[in-house]
Structures are given as structure tokens and as C-alpha cells.
Amino acid sequence: MTLAEVLAQDSRRLQQDLDLDPREARLEIQILLCEALGVARSWLIGHDREALAEPAAQSYSALLTRRLAGEPIAYIIGRREFFGLEFKTTPAVLIPRPETELLVELALARIPEDQPCKVLDLGTGSGAIAISIARSRPLAAVTAVDQSPQALGVARDNAARLQVPNLCLLHSDWFGALGAQTFDLIVSNPPYVEAGDPHLQRGDVRFEPLSALASGADGLDDIRRIAAAAPQHLNPGSWLLLEHGYNQGEGCRDILRQQGFSEVETIRDLAGLERVSVGLRAA
């Protein structure tokens, strides 16, 4: 079969088996073909009349089998793009998602470009948020923590490859290992899925670490913990930014107000969904 025929046939198969959008299915097949062939998508488009020959055909078949079983593309090829950077991604960490780029953008809007600033990323996972901030603000001293040693290993690999000397990675259960340190901004994409949510048993999330996804009956347990402890680690006049689920904006705003934060608001993502809530520690 030619590459074009493989692309057409397996796109339909992926679309049907995983209930994907046709364009998404086609893109995923292109990614798998490129991985098996060791080429860029531009090459694939220009050579689609060529045959898929061995040994690339065997490699591609193995990759496709994994995807048809539901395994996420990011884990199959071991990487995911986020904020214009490529991050190593393994089953030890949550897969970076486009909607989380809003959290980075909101953080950068509150971090000066021309003076030092201390930033904390709680639950860093792959390091995507912290590394994106650190690269965009070289004068900022960014600390990133995670309770998973495996996740920190992935973050360290990403930090080394992407060359971010202004990043410090620590093993910590939220604020546990930080002592009395204070920061000018705290950012977090914590677990926020309801423990009983049936979506935890569907799609890509079946393969992701549950500890990075679920947080109590209403999904807000970790957000409550962060909001309660954050004022002790924020300098006066500093911000706390929290990503959360589309239906948790009101709950997050209530939590932030209860902990004494002012200027509390929720910002919507590009899909129009409430995505990030922010609060200011009074001066």
C-alpha cells in the first residue's frame, strides 16, 4: 500500500474505533507514520505515493496497535508540544494540554520582564508550565515541586534538554518542603477531577496517573489545600493562579475569597469555558 492509502484507511479505522474527529484521526495517523519512518510531516505529504516498506511497516503497525488500544499519542511517541516547546512525556506525568497554555499566559502577564521575581509551580509533572515560564522570563527564579519522584525525573530531563538555568526542582507534597519561603507568584494545575467521574475510565485519561487527575468527591480537595496554605508563601500584593474544570469556577472563587484573597476572578479559555481562577494576596 502507498502511504496515501495507509493514511486514508487507518484514519477511518481510528476515527471509528476511538470516536475521533476525522481531522484529528488523520493527524494522529500522520504522526504515527512519521514516527515509524523517521521523517517530518512535510516529507510525508510530498511522498505520499511511495509504498510503506519494511521495516517501517512493522514499526508503524506496532504503533497503530497501541493507539487502537486507546494509549495516548503523547505516550506512544514520548513527547508533546506545549507553548511552542517539545516536552518529553511518559505515563508518569499528565499529558500537557493546549488549554493549560492560558495558565502560562496569565502568569507571564503578572511577571515583570526586566526585574527579578520568585515564581512557584505546584505539581509540576513534566515541568511544562514551569519551564515555559522560566524560558519566557530569564530573570525570574522559578521553583517547581512535585510529590512524584518519577514525575520529577521527567521534569529534570525536560529542563536539561530545554536549558533553563533559572529553574529549581524539588520533591515536595505541595508546600511541604518549602519551609518559610515566599514567592511573588504561585501557579498550579492541580488534580481537579471528581473522584467518581466516569470520564476517568474513558479515553486518554485511562492511561494517565490518577494522582494527577482526581481530587476528592467534588474535585476541589487539592485546590482547597493550596488556597489555604498559599497566603503564608505569597509576598504581599502577589497572585495565586489555579487551573480547574469548566464547571468549578464558582467553587474556586468561593474558596479563594474564604482564604482572604481579593480581586478574585475566573478567566475563560479559547473554547469559552471557565479555566483559570486567580486571587491577589492583599498588601
Binding residues for substrate: 189-192
Among 95, 86, 74, CA closest to 151: 95
Binding-site positions: 123-127, 146, 174, 189-192
CA atoms within 13 A on the CB side of 260: 12
Grouping H, G, I as helix, E, B as strand and the rest as coil, residue 68 is: helix
Give the contacts of 122 (CB within 8 A, at least 6 positions apart).
Answer: 145, 174, 175, 186, 187, 188, 190, 226
Sign of CA dihedral 202, 246, 217, 278: positive
Grouping H, G, I as helix, E, B as strand and the rest as coil, residue 119 is: strand
**CA distance readout (Å), 156 to 86, 92, 120, 127, 182:** 14, 13, 16, 8, 23
Binding-site positions for S-adenosyl-L-methionine: 123-127, 146, 174, 189
